[in-house]
Amino acid sequence: MKIIAVLLASLIFASCTTLVPPGKSRVKYQTIIEHNKEIPIAYKLSMEWMNNSFASTKNSIEFSDKELAIITGKGYYPVKVTLGIEYGIWYVLTIEMKQGRTRFTYDVDYGIKAGLSNNVDENYVAFHENMYNLENSYKQYVNNNDNDW
């Protein structure tokens, strides 16, 4: 009987583990995107990309400085949750440009503690796919737009 209780407890605890870092609801991720643009052109293209990629750039861009070559915007990624709880992942995306490269820094607020949803892992993976898609979209936009026409 004790063996059954231990196995049952193990299964319950194993189902509560998630990909979201334990004890953290805020996490930072960074990635570098290589391109062949000079800083002023990269900044202009980055602003255009933000306008094209986010539903409301007026509400999403929190800070931009052409001389520092930094753009900071906020985003929201809706996810699935059980028990009728509406939930989304809020993040701040900081785009910093240097000669020939751009750094994306995501400050992500997962907002829930592990175990509140049986979809936490699925949502985590979906959000990371969203980050990957944003980066690829940016890379294509910057590399395929030539402002020397």
Q: Going residue by residue through the chain (149 aa), what tens digit of pLDDT does each one get? A: 544 443 333 333 333 444 555 555 677 889 999 999 999 999 999 999 988 888 765 567 889 999 999 999 988 887 766 666 666 788 899 999 999 999 999 998 776 544 445 556 677 777 888 889 899 999 999 988 876 54
pLDDT of residue 56: 64
Note the pLDDT of residue 121.
65
- 25-144 in CATH: which number? 3.30.530.80
* pLDDT at res. 27: 79
pTM for the model stands at 0.73
Which residue is it, tokens 């890379």? 139
